[in-house]
Amino acid sequence: MSFNLYITPTTSLILILFTIFFGQVFRKNWKDKKNNWVLKSWIYGVVSSTSFFILILAPHEIQP
């Protein structure tokens, strides 16, 4: 049973932007250590790392 699921270039771009944005917010939150910083760091870190791992592990649609 084979699924033909591919990441399109548009989805790849969105995932790259998620990785960059949430990674930056994670780092800023980690440095500032303001209210609820541990919870926020976990949320931002999970979103950033999840989008990164989807990007590197899922197959991409190759357009000729």
Q: According to the model, what pLDDT value does residue 2 have?
A: 60
pLDDT digits (tens, 9 = 90+) for 25-61: 999 999 999 899 999 999 999 999 999 999 999 988 8
| Interacting residues of 16 by C-beta distance below 8 A, sequence separation 6+ | 51, 55
Look at 5 and 2; give whichever has higher pLDDT: 5
Q: What is the C-alpha to C-alpha distance for residues 20 and 45, in angstroms, rounded to an integer?
A: 11
| Interacting residues of 10 by C-beta distance below 8 A, sequence separation 6+ | none
Burial class (CB in 10 A: 0-12, 13-18, 19+), 17: exposed
Whether the predicted pLDDT of 23 surpasses 60? yes
